[in-house]
Structure 1
Amino acid sequence: MNYSDGDPRDQLTHVGSEVVRAGLVVGSGGNLSARGPGTEDFWVTAAGAWLDRLERSAFVRVRTADAKIAADASHPPTSELPLHLAIYRRRPDVAAIVHLHPQAVLLLDALREPIRLVTTDHAFYLRRIVTTPFRLPGTAELADEAAAATADGTNCVILSHHGCSVLADSVELAHKRALYLEEAARLTYQALVLGRADALPACPPEFLRAVETGTQTTA
């Protein structure tokens, strides 16, 4: 899949298929969106869409400024539309949002166990993870909490007992961040099973400092 060209819907269709194949999603447990190039409109998955069965007709075009849904929409948008709207309005640099319900991430959240950023990939792509309190799915309260959590540039938000939202300036980068977030969660879980979570070291601090200062440009 070439993420650099093509319709955002095709890129998101690829992401949907891949995250299901990778075990990050069961059924329709998530929703995806991306801004169209050169426009404030964005495409978002329709309500109840199975992420591994997406096609262009499974997306709804929405205007960011006033939440107006395109007249030619054949399906209602996901019930999490307020979440996508709030983040796009708060973060003009964000071009894609991947909202999923990955099992390892949610298990650790339920156990109140922080996800450890162990590898250079985790540190480079995720930087930091913020968890928001539980709010009812699909509500303005949940959307406002998530958007506020991203205001400082955070790109990985866990919505307690619900899911996670990862953001990026491209569909490809949002996809990568979703994969690395679940990988970090799985490694943390394995350390818990081994009884060694407290001894699990974070990524070396010199790498973290280099990432924060911008002198480290690759993982």
Structure 2
Amino acid sequence: MGRDAEPISGGTRMNYVPGDLRDQLAHVGYDVVQSGLAVGSGGNLSAREPDADTCWVTAAGTWLDRLSRSGFVSVGVADGEPVPVPEPYGARFTRPTSELALHLAVYRARPDVNAVVHLHPQTVLLLDALGERIRLVTTDHAFYLRRVATVPFRPPGSIELAGLAAGAVADGTDCVVLSRHGICVTADSVELAHKRVRNLEEAARLTYAALVAGRSLTDLPDDFLDGLTTV
């Protein structure tokens, strides 16, 4: 039984979208648009089964809040080549997102990562443009995010950007700000990546609110941070 499942009479109740990874990613896409973390097609998502050599990634031009299984392309992690899907869901789109290099570079750098979420959340990017770092304000922020890295600007979709992101996550960091562009959030499941994205933007909003109020935020105690176990 998964960590987020609980037994009920005659079966199991899940509190997250079960089953196909594309359905889980479609749920993320709808939620982040409704929550104001993304606009239209402003971002891309991917996921793979543990230790799989292929991943599902959003197709070029898809709207994040209108995704269905047909809005994903199966791609080889090692070579980046589309993999034919023996079902009608694979027939509509054949060209993966222009940020494919970012997703593949992260998977190659982190074998433990099974989901990558790339978005352009407004508050995170506003703080980056102001030269302000995101503070981990609450214990939830610390638990889910741990630390937030920032990499310098490189053109979206470029190999250079993918390399910088991969280098930033190689030490176990799961939340990376791509300067003046967006975020790259990773996890071992779609659900956990979803939680991290929500917490990252919340931390950014609280940080910005403190700046507007003319107040400075202190970090959580080091002994608390050091005592956190891996999510």
Structure 1 length-normalised TM: 0.92
Q: Map 1:54-203 to 2 at 5 A.
A: 54-72=67-85, 73=90, 74-75=92-93, 76-196=95-215, 198=216, 200-203=217-220
Cα distance in structure 2, aligned partners of 1:51 and 1:139 = 21
Give the distance between the partners of 2:207 and 2:26, measured in 1 at CA. 29
CA contact (8 A) 1:36 1:43 kept: no
CA shift digits 1:50-77 (9 cap, x unpaired):
1100000000000111111023553211
1:36 CA drift (Å) = 3.1
Say which one has the larger Rg: 2
In the aligned structure 1, how far is the partner of 2:61 from the partner of 2:173? 28
In structure 2, C-alpha distance between the alignment counterparts of 1:134 and 1:39, rounded to whole Å: 31
1:30 aligns with 2:49: no
Residue of structure 2 in register with 1:210 after alignment: 227
Tell me which residue corresponds to 1:44: 57
Give the % identical residues. Answer: 67
Unaligned runs of 5+ in 1: none
Residues 35 and 3 (structure 1), Cα distance of their counterparts in 2 relative to 1, 3 Å cut: farther
Q: Deviations over 1:148-197 (max 9, x none)?
A: 0110000000000000010000000000000000000000000011000x
Q: Secondary structure of 1:147's partner? A: helix
- What CA distance in whole angstroms lies between the structure 2 residues aligned with 1:39 and 1:151? 19
Q: Distance in 1 between matches of 2:145 and 2:29?
A: 20
The 8 Å contact of residues 17 and 27 in structure 2, kept in 1 or not, is answered as no
Equivalent pairs, count = 212
Aligned mates of 2:169, 2:50 — CA distance in 1: 22
Q: 1:153 to 1:37 in 2, by over 3 A?
A: closer
Aligned position for 2:9: none
> Which of the pair has the greater relative contact order for Cα pairs under 8 Å at 6+ separation?
1
Q: Could you say what secondary structure the match of 1:97 adopts? A: strand
Per-residue CA deviation, residues 3-54 of structure 1 (Å, 9 max, x unaligned), is 4741100000001011111110011110000003562210000111111000
Query: TM-score under structure 2 normalisation?
Result: 0.88
Give SS of 1:118's match. coil
**The 10-residue stretch of structure 1 (68-77 or 22-31) with the greater mean CA deviation from structure 2:** 68-77
Contact kept? 1:119, 1:202, Cα under 8 Å: no
Aligned counterparts of 2:221 and 2:51: Cα–Cα separation in 1: 39
Helix, strand or coil at the partner of 1:164: strand
> Which amino acid is the alignment partner of residue 15 of structure 1?
V
CA separation in 2, counterparts of 1:102 and 1:55? 22
